[in-house]
Amino acid sequence: IKKIGVLTSGGDSPGMNAAIRSVVRSCAYHNIECAGIYRGFEGLIEGDFKLMDARSVKGIINKGGTILKTARSKDFRTKEGRQKAFDNLNQAGIEGLVVVGGDGSFTGAMVLNKEFGFPVMGIPGTIDNDIVGTTHTLGFDTALNTVVDAIDKIRDTASSHNRLFFIEVMGRDVGHIALNAGIAGGAEEILIPEEDLGLDRLVESLKRSRKSGKSSSIVIVAEGDKIGKNIFELKDYVDENMEGYDVRVSVLGHMQRGGAPSCFDRVLASRMGVKAVESILEGKSNYMVGLQNGKMELTHLENAIKGKTKINLELLRVSDIMST
């Protein structure tokens, strides 16, 4: 192999730049070329490539977002789009592709591999941590720190005003951000997609903590939580069913995806980039690199996106005990 391509795709996450840097420098170390592909699979179809040498990725390890940009490509879902992408890869002499992204991006990589036998390697980049085969996806740790910082700030104003706050965090299908940041931020209750706590139990629990002497409270709500009401309807319900609490809502939104990556994410990205490039050079394909028991391990892309990552039940129990 003489040239590897790298792209970032799907929702961005802090650490993607550190991963690009690692892929580019690993290629340079092994004396092969590296092509950066812009806007994910969109840029693959349009042939929007740029050769990157070791110096071209200076000063980006500490930057959020992705210098290669990212997109969710509709055209790549068509056979013609994928054929174009494959032709462009061939024309540019690219012989292996590193895809940094989440489940949608990995599905794209798998199709490219299945249809054309093209060597692909995945690096899990999403704040949601919803990929099997790695305890941490790139950006998860940074997002947690961002969310905890926001909760701390909201707590200041919540306790000054004796208010109850509902704080919505990201997590369309999984509650990893909600559960971890909720515990770290000292939340009373944490609502996640994996569990239906029930509205009545929520109100009972808030009443109990009120009685026990708490004058303000924080409830963390994952955007895909199972109670089936959006965060504003939740607020209204609690408003109607609880006396005397001034209730407010704060939706953290996309700020959770930005910011400088944490030390953990920078190290993880650096390790994953090296492992991804060296795995392709060893002739491996159709895998994702991940962190398992402190080591870099490979998981078949198919298994990485299959099913749901399981919520840590111990954390649920810890959260229950902490809100006593």
CA atoms within 13 A on the CB side of 138: 38
Cβ proximity of 143 and 258 under 8 Å = no
Nearest distance in Å: CB 172, ligand F6P: 4
The reply on whether position 261 binds ligand F6P by CB under 6 A is: no
- Residues in the chain, total: 324
Coil, strand or helix: which one is 81?
helix
Only one of the segments 123-131, 189-197, 231-239, 277-285 lies at the binding site for ligand F6P (rule: CB under 6 A); that segment is 123-131
Cβ proximity of 145 and 183 under 8 Å = no
Q: Find the residue with minimal CB distance to ligand F6P.
A: 11
The enclosing H or E element of 15 equals none
214 is in an annotated binding site: yes
Is the CB of 251 or the CB of 315 nearer to ligand F6P? 251
Catalytically active residues are 128
User: Which residues in the 175-204 window bind ligand F6P by CB under 6 A?
Assistant: none
Among 28, 109, 131, 170, binds ligand F6P (CB under 6 A): 170
The reply on whether position 171 binds ligand F6P by CB under 6 A is: yes
The reply on whether position 126 binds ligand F6P by CB under 6 A is: yes
Cβ proximity of 7 and 25 under 8 Å = no
Is the CB of 158 or the CB of 269 nearer to ligand F6P? 269
Only one of the segments 17-25, 167-175, 262-270, 311-319 lies at the binding site for ligand F6P (rule: CB under 6 A); that segment is 167-175
State the Cα angle at 93 between 90 and 95, rounded to 5°. Answer: 80
The reply on whether position 299 binds ligand F6P by CB under 6 A is: no
Going residue by residue from 2 to 21, which x/- string records binding to ligand F6P, judged by CB under 6 A?
Answer: ---------x----------
Is the CB of 109 or the CB of 138 nearer to ligand F6P? 138
The reply on whether position 132 binds ligand F6P by CB under 6 A is: no
Cα(151)–Cα(250) distance, integer angstroms: 10
The reply on whether position 172 binds ligand F6P by CB under 6 A is: yes
Q: Residue 111: which of 78, 72, 134 has the closest Cα?
A: 78
The reply on whether position 220 binds ligand F6P by CB under 6 A is: no
Which residues does residue 122 pair with via DSSP β-bridges, in sequence order? 99, 288
Cα(138)–Cα(55) distance, integer angstroms: 23
Nearest distance in Å: CB 10, ligand F6P: 7
Alpha helices by DSSP H, the chain: 16-29, 40-46, 79-91, 103-116, 140-161, 176-184, 199-211, 231-241, 263-281, 301-304, 313-322
Phi-psi category of residue 52: left, alpha or beta, with phi > 0 → left and psi -120 to 50 → alpha: beta
Q: Which residues are annotated as a binding site?
A: 11, 21-25, 72-73, 102-105, 126-128, 155, 163, 170-172, 186-188, 214-216, 223, 248, 254-257
Q: Could you list the residues that contact ligand F6P (CB under 6 A)? A: 11, 126-128, 170-172, 223, 257
Q: Which residues are annotated as a binding site for ADP?
A: 21-25, 155, 186-188, 214-216
Q: Which residues are annotated as a binding site for Mg(2+)?
A: 103
